[in-house]
């Protein structure tokens, strides 16, 4: 083991770990590799990774590398994503020094974050497979519209290109942070979709609260998302909560992924003898005519609108923002 880990090698290790997130490597093999990389990046004789059960009560898996030494030095960090702890990553017995350094800790925190994303993604996939047993598989595949696979593939390609940046620490750090944020967003979108598949999950709550919770789900995107609703409209449409939230989710997700907006507004208000659900943003906009047929995003909006008894209305121009609407009969 190379006990003197250079800054260049640290960057290479972090890129290598991020690349594994965009691969189809089984979780156990991926986590074992992260443990090995952790030992190398920290110059430690021993490394271990403990994965907690879904309820956080017991250690479900414990992976190690090296022989457990007397632990004259120790470094441990939580494996966490958005405040949820999935386990812990440990190093003991620094080889070339008496104690682990701040640089060791910073690198270990980044590896732990990647381990957390891998665990969350795998659990989301497992839940989706269980739900798919009771759902139409073709419909599920269509509604996911290949975003997960395509997004992970794109990040893999970007990270491969990032290997050429390892001599530029600031550039590689920015690339890694961007990739991790993107992969995390893909997983959050998947979890949001799974939530919507569960019978009655959204309908059991007040429509207004469901829309506000939906906006909160996208808070880490950095966009400000405001929600405005009419109390009477909300009460009249309580039975259509799930379809309304799904339409809004699709529109917000498109804005987060493509619009580069700073502000997104979601409104559900009365409009004559109908309700108007609108999601707008102040982003870069797009050519609606040429966007038709590229993936299932717009097709999903149309399907959701039809379930609500309406047709989607999409208004957008390059550099002028986007408005997505559906009129819902009352």
Give the model's pLDDT for residue 303.
Answer: 86
Residue 172 in tokens: 């590689």
Q: Are 275 and 327 in contact (CB under 8 A)?
A: yes
pLDDT digits (tens, 9 = 90+) for 31-55: 999 999 999 999 999 999 999 987 7
Task: Let me know if domain 204-329 sits in CATH 3.30.565.10.
Answer: yes
* Residue 168: half-sphere exposure toward Cβ, Cα within 13 Å: 10
Give me the helix-helix angle, 27-42 and 7-21, nearest 10°: 170
Q: Are 276 and 308 in contact (CB under 8 A)?
A: no
Percent of the chain with pLDDT over 90: 33
Query: In which residue ranges of the chain is CATH 3.30.450.40 found?
Result: 7-194
Give the model's pLDDT for residue 1.
Answer: 45
Residue 56 to residues 22, 51, 117, 237, Cα–Cα distance (Å): 26, 9, 16, 37
What's the CA dihedral at 196, 200, 201, 206 to 10 degrees? Answer: 110
Residue 173 in tokens: 């750090």
Query: In which residue ranges of the chain is CATH 3.30.565.10 found?
Result: 204-329
**Average pLDDT over all residues of the chain:** 82
Q: What angle do CA 216, 217, 222 make, to 5 degrees?
A: 75
168 contact partners, CB below 8 Å, separation of at least 6 = none
Q: Which of 73-77, 179-183, 202-206 shows the lowest per-residue confidence on average (mean pLDDT)? A: 202-206
Q: Is 83 helix (H, G, I), strand (E, B) or coil?
A: coil
Residue 194 in tokens: 């799974």
For residues 195 and 87, the model is more confident at 87
Q: Is 35 exposed, middle or buried (0-12, 13-18, 19+ CB in 10 A)?
A: buried
Largest CA distance in the chain: 75
Give the model's pLDDT for residue 222.
Answer: 82
pLDDT digits (tens, 9 = 90+) for 72-101: 899 999 998 777 889 999 999 999 899 999
Closest alpha carbon to 82 in 194, 181, 173, 198:
181
Query: What is the model's pTM?
Result: 0.56
pLDDT digits (tens, 9 = 90+) for 238-280: 888 888 998 999 899 888 888 888 999 999 998 888 899 999 9
Residue 5 to residues 37, 76, 271, Cα–Cα distance (Å): 11, 19, 64
Which range is most confident: 76-80, 177-181, 206-210? 76-80
Q: What is d(CA 103, CA 46) in angstroms, rounded to the nearest whole number?
A: 18
What is the number of other CB atoms lying within 10 angstroms of the CB of residue 85?
12
Q: Is the pLDDT of residue 151 over 70?
A: no
Q: Which of 57-66, 167-176, 271-280 shows the lowest per-residue confidence on average (mean pLDDT)? A: 167-176
Give the model's pLDDT for residue 204.
Answer: 42
7-194, what's its fold? Answer: Beta-Lactamase (3.30.450)
Give the model's pLDDT for residue 91.
Answer: 96
Beta strand residue intervals within 8-83, DSSP E: 44-52, 59-65, 74-81
DSSP 9: H
What is the bridge-based pairing of β-strands 274-281 and 263-271? antiparallel
pLDDT band at 22 (very low <50, low <70, confident <90, very high): confident
Q: What is d(CA 206, CA 64) in angstroms, rounded to the nearest whole number?
A: 47
Q: What is d(CA 209, CA 171) in angstroms, rounded to the nearest whole number?
A: 40
Q: Are 272 and 249 in contact (CB under 8 A)?
A: no
Q: Which of 15-19, 21-25, 74-78 shows the lowest per-residue confidence on average (mean pLDDT)? A: 21-25
Residue 66 to residues 77, 119, 259, Cα–Cα distance (Å): 18, 23, 47
Q: What angle do CA 21, 263, 323 make, to 5 degrees?
A: 100
Q: What is d(CA 211, CA 205) in angstroms, rounded to the nearest whole number?
A: 10
């Amino acid at each position: 083991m190379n006990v003197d880990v250079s800054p260049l090698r640290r960057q290479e290790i972090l890129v290598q770990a991020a690349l594994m997130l965009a691969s189809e490597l089984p979780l156990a093999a991926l986590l074992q590799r992260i443990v090995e990389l952790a030992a190398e990046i920290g110059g430690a004789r021993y490394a271990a990774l403990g994965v907690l059960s879904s309820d956080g009560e017991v250690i479900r898996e414990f992976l190690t590398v090296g022989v457990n030494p007397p632990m004259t030095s120790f470094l441990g960090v939580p494996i966490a994503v958005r405040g949820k702890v999935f386990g812990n990553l440990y190093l003991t017995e620094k080889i070339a020094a008496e104690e682990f350094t701040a640089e060791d800790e910073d690198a270990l925190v980044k590896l732990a974050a990647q381990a957390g994303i891998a665990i969350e993604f795998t659990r989301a996939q497992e839940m989706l497979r269980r739900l798919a047993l009771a759902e139409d598989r073709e419909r599920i595949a269509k509604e996911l519209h290949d975003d997960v696979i395509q997004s992970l593939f794109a990040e893999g390609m970007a990270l491969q290109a990032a290997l050429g940046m390892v001599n530029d620490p600031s550039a590689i750090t920015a690339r890694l942070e961007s990739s991790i944020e993107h992969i995390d967003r893909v997983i959050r979108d998947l979890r949001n979709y799974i939530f919507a598949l569960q019978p009655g999950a959204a309908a059991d709550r007040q429509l207004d609260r469901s829309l506000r919770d939906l906006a909160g789900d996208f808070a880490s995107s950095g966009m400000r998302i405001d929600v405005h609703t009419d109390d009477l409209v909300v009460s009249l449409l309580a039975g259509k909560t799930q379809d309304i939230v799904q339409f809004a989710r699709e529109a917000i997700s498109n804005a987060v992924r493509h619009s580069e907006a700073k502000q997104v507004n979601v409104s559900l208000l009365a409009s004559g003898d109908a309700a108007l659900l609108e999601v707008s943003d102040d982003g870069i906009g797009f050519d609606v005519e040429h966007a038709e047929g590229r993936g299932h995003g717009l097709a999903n909006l149309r399907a959701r609108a039809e379930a609500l008894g309406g047709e989607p209305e999409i208004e957008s121009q390059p550099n002028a923002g986007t408005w997505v609407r559906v009129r819902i009969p009352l």
